[in-house]
A and B are shown apart, each in its own frame.
Chain A
Amino acid sequence: MKTVFKVPQSLTGKEWHYCPGCGHGIIHRLIAECMDELDVREKTVGICPVGCGVLAYEYFNCDMLEAAHGRAPAVGTGLKRVLKDRVIFTYQGDGDLASIGMAEIVHAASRGEKISVFFINNTVYGMTGGQMAPTTLLGQVTTTSPYGRDKDREGYPIRIAEMLAPFEGAAYVARVAINTPANAARAKRAIKKAFETQLNGAGFSLVEILSTCPTNWGLSPVEAMQWLADNMIPYYPLGVYKDKEGR
């Protein structure tokens, strides 16, 4: 009998701790499938963020580190400078990367650090209970923006892919989403390109992945996917923002 679907070798197969309908499980799987297809599991070291993804070291079946909040790109820099022939990736949420870790991500990109960053944008701090993130949309209600995000009070949401793409050191920058099977397939292609960019030694790569947080959005998993399409994609347009290798 032909196997058409199985747990990727790059996942441990442990049951997720994520909430029902959360996008992290889908994204973990896409990353793991790319590691399998590129046959890099044994030469990959991943770095977890602080946030819901903190336990990713339980799920990826490769060497893993857990970094302090926002510091994964600096930790990845230290790893990559020692292990030049290894594949280093960071897995970071929007609070981790776009708020407390903004300095680390900006400078890793500007140095052209040969690491791949998977940036999960779900517009909220998930693990701490749904507080406002730098990516929270205008008008969006969170536990720390209970009257809706107001541009005059909290300022505007930050578009990370657009911000980092112009850096000379950034070789591949894309924004994808996981709200439909077709988008998830595109997301996987972008993740694979990010890894390939690193393997080719071309420079820094980042894939911003629009994802859902049904629990903190107060929506069902299906409604959350629709909310992503209706609200996030118009403000965070999908596409490839930089591809130095020009494929």
Chain B
Amino acid sequence: MARVLMKGNEALGEGAVIAGCRYFFGYPITPQSEVAEYLARRLPQVDGVFLQAESEVAAINMVYGGSAAGARVMTGSSGPGLSLKQEGISFIAEAELPCVIANISRGGPGLGGIQPAQSDYFQSCKGGGHGDYRLIVLAPSSVQEMMDFALLAFDLADRYRTPVLIMSEGMLGQMMEPVQVREPVTERYEKPWATTGCINREPNIVNTLHLLPTELEDRNQHLFSKYARIAAEEKRAEMVMTEDAELVVVAYGLLSRVVKKAITEVRARGVKAGLIRPLTLWPFPDTHIQKCLDTAKLFLTIEISMGQMVEDVKLAVNGRVPVEFYGRIGVIPSPQEIERAIMAVAERGGLA
């Protein structure tokens, strides 16, 4: 298929279409709006439906209905919009309805700004809504991955009957890169649970109410056995020069590409540095981190936040070596800035 120059948000939208998604329910918000605009043009061309909802709350509940009807469905937003969607996401997770949610994120809290940020990590990975549940959270780092992760997200959503969240910095949504356009996905999952009308079968019920205490606990156990299966099967991370790394940097998303460049520079200065880039923020690739503990003397987490993923890195390292943090908000630091940050940590830790 063709190689095309695309915006990250457009690649995500086209990826959804390639994955067989024909329904998008959304609400305009910067820097996500191009996802909606692209699909408003594109979906009618493939007999799909784009519907601009009256609110973020309505959009996620339209997704609930569309997914219950058995379709591949998507919504997208940015931080403040995701906050509004949390009620619906909790219901969707509990009802085990597959769908894809994109967070083309911005910096918060409050209205914040549209500058690059990764400060919705807690919201995405720690359950922004009420109750015990998890989302699969994917973090693309290139426009190509915006497309590829859309395909992956719909597959994981259907395979595990669970909502999948794609978290991208706003900047990645806005930037253009060449994209290898993928072949249309033809594989479809059976959905015998869908509420499509009970022709020649017993009625299906999509429900999240469990008034009996035993039933509620059983339900949670069921969800968490599924999450354990996902955690066992789906942890993904890119490992860069980690085989002999004494200083292991952990960074994800667009930022990780800058870190990769800085790692090369730091290596040239004699520091044995490596990079772990989580592709799945949940399930968090703690096993990848633990694999590095044979050589690692120090971890450094770099985020465009005040320090959120660093907590998961600390849990994975479990006190065996120090975990340091470097963070900015609203900017992607330059390779030089990150190189300085890594060197400073290396010197403090006696690794330079």
Contact = CB atoms under 8 A, between A and B. Distances in A.
Nearest to A64: B205
A74 B69 contact: no
A41 B198 contact: yes
Contacts of A62: 197-198, 203
A222 to B, nearest CB: 30
A75 B62 contact: yes
A78 B196 CA distance: 12
B64 A78 contact: yes
Contact of A63 (B58, B64, B200, B203): B203
B209 A66 contact: yes
A171 to B, nearest CB: 19
A95 to B, nearest CB: 16
Given A54-B209, A63-B205, A68-B91, A78 B62 contact: yes
B205 A65 contact: yes
Contact of A75 (B54, B65, B207): B65
In this complex, which of A44, A57, A65, A104 has the most chain B Cβ atoms within 10 angstroms of its Cβ? A65
Interface string A212-235: 000000000000000000000000
Contacts of B204: 63-64
B49 interface: yes
Contacts of A41: 198
Interface string B53-82: 111011101111111111101000000000
B65 A64 contact: no
A38 interface: no
Contacts of A76: 65
Interface in A2-47: 41-45, 47
A66 B94 CA distance: 12
B268 interface: no
B195 interface: yes
Contacts of A45: 69, 195-197
Interface string B13-47: 00000000001010000000000000000000000
A54 B205 CA distance: 12
Given A77-B65, A81-B49, A68 B88 contact: yes
Nearest to B202: A61
B196 A86 contact: yes
A78 B66 contact: yes
Contacts of A71: 57-58, 61, 64, 88
Contacts of B196: 45, 63, 83, 86
Contacts of B64: 65, 67-68, 71, 74-75, 78
B334 interface: no
Contacts of B123: none
Contacts of B295: none
Interface in A71-121: 71, 74-83, 86, 103-104, 106-107
Contact of B51 (A60, A75, A77, A79): A77
A55 interface: yes
A42 B198 contact: yes
A65 B54 CA distance: 21
A43 B88 CA distance: 26
Interface string A145-173: 00000000000000000000000000000
Contacts of B25: 77-78
A79 B195 contact: yes
A66 B197 contact: no
A61 B206 CA distance: 13
Given A63-B204, A66-B208, A81-B23, 13 more contacts: A45-B69, A64-B195, A65-B68, A65-B205, A71-B61, A74-B59, A78-B62, A78-B65, A78-B68, A78-B69, A82-B23, A86-B197, A103-B57
30 contacts: A41-B198, A42-B200, A43-B197, A45-B69, A45-B196, A45-B197, A47-B65, A57-B205, A60-B203, A62-B198, A63-B196, A64-B207, A66-B209, A74-B64, A74-B65, A76-B65, A77-B25, A77-B62, A78-B64, A78-B66, A78-B67, A79-B68, A81-B23, A81-B66, A82-B66, A82-B71, A82-B73, A103-B58, A104-B54, A104-B61
Interface of A: 41-45, 47, 54-55, 57, 60-68, 71, 74-83, 86, 103-104, 106-107
Interface of B: 23, 25, 49, 51, 53-55, 57-59, 61-71, 73, 87-88, 91, 195-200, 203-209
10 closest pairs, A vs B, by CB? A78-B65, A74-B61, A78-B62, A78-B66, A82-B69, A107-B54, A75-B65, A63-B195, A79-B65, A71-B61
